[in-house]
Amino acid sequence: MTRLLPGTRALRTLEAAARHLNFTRAADELGLTPAAVSHQIKEIEDQLGLVLFTRTSRTIRLTEAGAVLFEASTDALDLLGRAVSRAHKLTRGTALLKVTLDAQFASKWLMRRVDHFRKHQPHIELRFDIAYELRDFELDDIDVGIRFGAGKYPGLRAHRLFDNILIPVCSPSLLTSGPPLREPRDLFNHTLAHIEWSRQGVTWPNWRMWMAAAGVNDFDDSRTVVFKNSTDAVQAALDGNAVALADFAMVANDLSQGRLVQPFELGLRVAPEFAYFLVYPESTADDPRIVAFRDWILEEVAKTRT
């Protein structure tokens, strides 16, 4: 007689419990109680007639049978996830293009231009996934992405968008009502905002680095405010509360429309291998929707550079 196999929910519980080797952490991930996880694991073991975990008062370990089922569960869930993603893309037709990007790029650059795309490509409906987390094109229902990184993405085609140049910006009101900003040392009298970011040995420029480039070697960074993302740092400048180090491409509109000003010309370049990239799978490079979006965004990027 054919033995019944665990359902998808049971496989997710098994996979999480085996990955964490801790029912409490698995429960937190799944939104269950540890008792519910333990009960589901016991049900799977009874259903299959196998012991998958050995339990002591302090530890949980996989048995040989458990290790086999853990590997199979991981593969099965991954395969099912990819199939569901492909199915979604097939059923939503050819008019919809899903784009994943972070909140800063969305609010400070893309959304200001998206009406122009819709006017020239009315047959393509854009839908956005705003997230800092990286998406998997095979697992997630996504067509193209805009991401900051080194541009080396196996299986993906990548188009470099911007060279990142960090410049000081502030509100015009800060120049008229606050302490004067005639030379870099005058910044000591203001609150200075920047972000902290480091990857692969590369550090995002901060105020200490900017001051050193400006020839100021006795800078005290006790007046700096560190934000997790650039959007919040720029907002502090827009509100008139700080002078922020900001990516030029992300504040170009604010500068051109007078919401921000650049008190000093000096800018710092991020390591050249890091930039914003437009990415999409090699397998869909000829998709007319992606081609139209790619050509449009590269044209808009060229305008920003100018």
Q: Where are the domains of the chain?
A: 8-89, 92-162+274-305, 165-269
Residue-wise pLDDT tens digits, 240-267 = 999 999 999 889 889 989 999 999 999 9
Which residues are CB-neighbours of 105 under 8 A, at least 6 positions away?
146, 148, 250, 276
Nearest Cα neighbor of 6 from 63, 50, 53, 67 is: 50
- Output the CA–CA distances (angstroms, integers) from residue 217 to 31, 96, 148, 185, 207, in the order listed: 52, 53, 31, 10, 11
Which residues are CB-neighbours of 236 under 8 A, at least 6 positions away?
191, 193, 225, 227, 242, 244
């509360």: which residue's tokens?
A: 241
Structurally, at CATH architecture level, domain 92-162+274-305 sits in: 3-Layer(aba) Sandwich (3.40)
Nearest Cα neighbor of 268 from 179, 166, 140 is: 166
CATH T-level fold of 165-269:
D-Maltodextrin-Binding Protein; domain 2 (3.40.190)
Quote the CA–CA distance of 239 and 234 in Å, as a whole number.
Answer: 9
Does 92-162+274-305 match 8-89 at the fold level? no
Does the reported pTM lie above 0.85? no
Residue-wise pLDDT tens digits, 2-40 = 466 778 888 899 999 999 999 999 999 999 999 999 999
Beta carbons within 10 angstroms of residue 188's beta carbon: 14
CATH T-level fold of 8-89:
Arc Repressor Mutant, subunit A (1.10.10)
Contact status, residue 204 vs residue 139, Cβ threshold 8 Å = no
Residue-wise pLDDT tens digits, 45-71 = 988 989 999 988 788 899 999 999 999
Residue-wise pLDDT tens digits, 180-215 = 999 999 999 999 999 987 776 777 889 999 999 999
- What SS3 state is found at 9? helix
